[in-house]
């Protein structure tokens, strides 16, 4: 049996964390030969709720679950952690603008970045889930200068999964038949789900579907606004699907990407990737060699239509960065 892996999860009393903690503990993410120690963080007023979560985890009698630590301290939340899943964030309320949400969450991600830099394991990998996740990731990364920037990623795998499901339904195929579906840009309504380079059973998606108008309008808009549609339908934001995407994101980082496929993740741009400005956390098509890090796929062809979509989402991220510039 291998040494335990330490996984830190913030926002532990929330629905997303509740949906993913048990799946981490049962071995489906890091393997059936890898024991897991969980550190679950919540803000002070909700820490008592975590006691019930801990009892449930214990009552599952997971063979691989070594221990569960509960805390409201950033330093303790990341002490020795190999993976940090930053799920916790204040959600957008009625009448709030995106800038308001950024301001509300910015200091929290600053403090978490500092704590990660101070107490996490040397091989720490960080996945930012709490929204606006791209810019929250940028803030946390900035305040953890001793951690390689490649170790910080923002979650856009949920958007990829949503897009793959839509293409599969439209084409009458299985989700496993859809490959090379990249999400470009921000995890927001400006994101670009790249149908032009997507494949369905190895064929170009536009050729399989044969309806460019549906792809440019219905498909793109459905993916961009899926989160809002779920809130309207169930009265709450995505939880189980978001948790599932987090686990997909981690698994794809620790398992080599098969063949010539790619997946989606928000990673740091160095100014040399598809004309995207330096220093943005931008979702690209990425691959992993199984080390836990993602590398941007080079040479993906982009049409004039796609370039316009990337420009729109890039400017939104530049604007967000400007809104929190005092923390960067």
Which residues carry out catalysis? 187
- DSSP summary character for residue 298: P
d(CA 78, CA 90): 20
Residues 6 or more apart whose CB falls under 8 angstroms from that of 168 comprise 174, 175, 177, 178, 200
Four-residue CA torsion sign, 58, 33, 290, 29: negative
CA nearest to 250, candidates 111, 155, 117: 155
Terminal Cα distance for the chain, rounded:
42
Counting Cα atoms < 13 Å in the Cβ hemisphere of 250 gives 26
Torsion of CA 220, 221, 227, 232, to 10 degrees: -150
Are the C-beta atoms of residues 44 and 72 closer than 8 Å to each other? yes
């Amino acid at each position: 049996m291998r040494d335990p892996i330490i996984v830190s999860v913030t926002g532990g009393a929330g629905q997303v964390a509740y949906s993913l903690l048990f799946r981490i503990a049962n071995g489906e993410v890091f393997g059936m030969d890898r024991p897991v120690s969980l550190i679950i963080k919540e803000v002070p007023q909700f820490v008592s709720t975590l006691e019930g979560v801990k009892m449930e985890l214990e009552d599952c009698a997971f063979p691989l679950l070594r221990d569960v630590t509960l805390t409201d301290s950033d330093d303790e939340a990341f002490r020795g952690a190999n993976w940090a899943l930053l799920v916790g964030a204040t959600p957008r309320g009625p009448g709030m603008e995106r800038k308001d949400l950024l301001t509300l969450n910015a200091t929290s991600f600053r403090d978490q970045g500092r704590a990660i830099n101070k107490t996490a394991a040397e091989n720490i990998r960080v996945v930012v889930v709490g929204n606006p996740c791209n810019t929250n990731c940028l803030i946390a990364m900035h305040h953890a200068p001793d951690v390689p920037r490649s170790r910080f990623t923002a979650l856009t795998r949920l958007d990829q999964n949503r897009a793959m499901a839509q293409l599969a339904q439209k084409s009458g195929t299985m989700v496993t038949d859809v490959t090379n579906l990249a999400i470009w840009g921000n995890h927001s309504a400006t994101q670009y789900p790249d149908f032009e380079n997507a494949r369905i059973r190895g064929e170009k998606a536009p050729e399989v579907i044969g309806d460019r108008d549906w792809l440019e309008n219905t498909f793109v808009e459905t993916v961009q606004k899926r989160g809002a549609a779920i809130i309207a339908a169930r009265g709450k934001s995505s939880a189980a699907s978001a948790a599932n995407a987090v686990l997909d994101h981690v698994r794809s980082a620790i398992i080599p990407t098969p063949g010539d496929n790619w997946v989606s993740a928000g990673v740091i741009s160095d100014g040399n990737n598809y004309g995207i400005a330096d220093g943005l956390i931008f979702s690209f098509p990425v691959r992993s060699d199984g080390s836990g890090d993602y590398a941007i796929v080079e040479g993906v062809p982009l049409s004039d239509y796609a370039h316009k979509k990337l420009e729109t989402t890039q400017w939104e991220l530049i604007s967000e960065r400007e809104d929190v510039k005092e923390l960067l």
